[in-house]
Amino acid sequence: MPKIDEYIPIVGQAVIDDLKLIADRLKGKLMQHVNSTAMGGGVAEILNRMLPLFNELGINTRWDVIKGGAQFFEVTKKFHNALHGKRVDFTQGDMDMFLETGRKNLEEVEIRGDAVFIHDPQPVTLVEKRGDNKWVWRCHIDISSPDRDIWKFLKDFVLRYDAAIFSAPSFSQNMSMRQFLISPSIDPLSDKNKELPAELIDSVLEKYGIVRNKPIITQISRFDRLKDPLGVLEAYKQVKKRIDCQLILAGGGATDDPEGVQVLEEVKERAGKDEDIHILLLPQNDIEINALQRGSDVILQKSLREGFGLTVTEALWKAKPVVASCVGGIPLQVKNKFSGLLCHSVEGAAFAIKQFLNSPQYAKKMGENGREHIRNNFLITRHLRDYMLVFISLQHNEDIVYL
């Protein structure tokens, strides 16, 4: 892990000095984070990078992961889909499974934090262990139009927290508690985002049989229906009619997402025998994902719903032209026709990709703008600052905090 001062060349001395000053206010306090998986997905990735930096800044920080079996994660995947607005059938058995697993975790997870950050719905019932400390529900998903019954069920727990954090303004709910807007972030010095030598990028492309003599369109994401991989294939096919190109669909899975294997098989079947479609399963291979993004001509993120879209952040940081759906937290990153192009359909995605491939200078300018937008708004240093300010705010019960 890099040390905090290693970020100075990227964000400036003043930003790091501010972090150290804020951290001094929290010396001797314990920040605790709890989620449902230690690897796979944006939450685990962010926490892996943040904790060492918090501890270096002098804030005692711990991270706990709840336990759950296959049935539990099947139920919480249903929650995930329903909170994104998809119609899902729930049984009383589903609810009983969720609550029973919650009771087991109440017995096993030790809560010691002065501020406890509970990430997403899976561990939400842990609030029953609340004492005189502060509790924050950190929601990473798009709940702008959730299934009403599921949201009502979860909201009964959420209202027992001191505050909630959402990634985009549209996700906020009508609740009596305090709510904060904190977007996720990337670590520019991580394996997934650091600069790579050209030879390494070339070697990764060669490894997977990807040639450099035709444009490369890439979507990096979990194999999840909400990421619309089948829509990506259709957009590629429309572009292919006019421009000879290649498609990379690459990503891994998360231990709390049981649908990934099924979706991957659907994608392979739809892709057929097109040799220019490369479907890659790369669990936790951050260097190769980095290389694939850097070797691509256009990065696509055609999600149907999206909490934020860290793969968009990663691509913009690499100064890549990005085509992304206008959903969830993506428009916070992709300012249409400034830092990328937003789309609303398969046809719109294909049209935007063709714009970039036919106008290299335009694509280059979008990428440059995107990198600066990420530098100013979505790097880990800003994220550290926001969490510390929420912690301080809750400790002092201030009415208004400007982040």
Whole-number percent of the chain with pLDDT over 70: 97
Per-residue pLDDT, 180? 96
Structure tokens at 35: 């989620």
Per-residue pLDDT, 19? 98
- In sequence order, which residues have a C-beta less than 8 Å from that of residue 139 and are 6 or more positions away? 120, 121, 164, 165, 166, 167, 171
Name the band, by pLDDT with cuts 50, 70 and 90, for residue 329.
Answer: very high
Residues 151 and 205 in one domain: no
Residues 147 and 177 in one domain: yes
* Residue 304 domain-assigned (yes or no): yes
Partners of residue 217 on adjacent β-strands: 247, 298
Name the band, by pLDDT with cuts 50, 70 and 90, for residue 257.
Answer: low
* Residue 42 domain-assigned (yes or no): yes
**Whether residue 400 has pLDDT greater than 70:** no
Residues 41 and 97 in one domain: yes
Per-residue pLDDT, 255? 60
Residues 222 and 367 in one domain: yes
Residues 171 and 148 in one domain: yes
- Total residues belonging to the chain: 403
Residues 52 and 68 in one domain: yes
pTM of the entire predicted model: 0.90
Contact call for residues 44 and 255 (beta carbons, < 8 A) = no
* CATH number, domain with residue 338: 3.40.50.2000
Q: pLDDT tens-digit profile of 187-203? A: 999 999 999 999 999 99
* Residue 103 domain-assigned (yes or no): yes
**Whether residue 37 has pLDDT greater than 50:** yes
Per-residue pLDDT, 399? 45
The type of residue at 335 is: K
Per-residue pLDDT, 87? 87
Residues 150 and 44 in one domain: yes
**Whether residue 232 has pLDDT greater than 80:** yes
d(CA 102, CA 19): 35
**Whether residue 274 has pLDDT greater than 60:** yes
Which is nearest to 124 in space by CA: 97, 166, 157, 167? Answer: 157
* Residue 32 domain-assigned (yes or no): yes
| Full DSSP string of 297-346 | SEEEE--SS-S--HHHHHHHHTT--EEEES-TTHHHH--BTTTBEEESSH
Per-residue pLDDT, 396? 77
Per-residue pLDDT, 401? 45
**Whether residue 114 has pLDDT greater than 70:** yes
Residues 290 and 361 in one domain: yes
The type of residue at 49 is: R
Residues 363 and 386 in one domain: no
* Residue 229 domain-assigned (yes or no): yes
Residues 297 and 364 in one domain: yes
**Region at 309 (left for phi over 0; alpha for psi -120 to 50; beta for the rest):** left
Which is nearest to 256 in space by CA: 39, 64, 55? Answer: 39
15-53 residues labelled b (16+ CB within 10 A) or e (exposed):
bbeebeebbeebeebebbbbbbbeebbbbbbbbebbbeb
Mean pLDDT in residue range 268-278? 95
What mean pLDDT value characterizes the chain? 93
Residues 127 and 212 in one domain: no
Which domain, by its residues, includes 383?
Answer: 4-185+379-396
For the chain, the domain total comes to 2
Contact call for residues 271 and 239 (beta carbons, < 8 A) = no
Per-residue pLDDT, 247? 98
Name the band, by pLDDT with cuts 50, 70 and 90, for residue 254.
Answer: low
Contact call for residues 142 and 307 (beta carbons, < 8 A) = yes
* Residue 192 domain-assigned (yes or no): no
* Residue 238 domain-assigned (yes or no): yes
Residues 256 and 170 in one domain: no
d(CA 368, CA 69): 45
Q: pLDDT tens-digit profile of 93-113? A: 999 999 999 999 999 999 999
Contact call for residues 353 and 300 (beta carbons, < 8 A) = yes
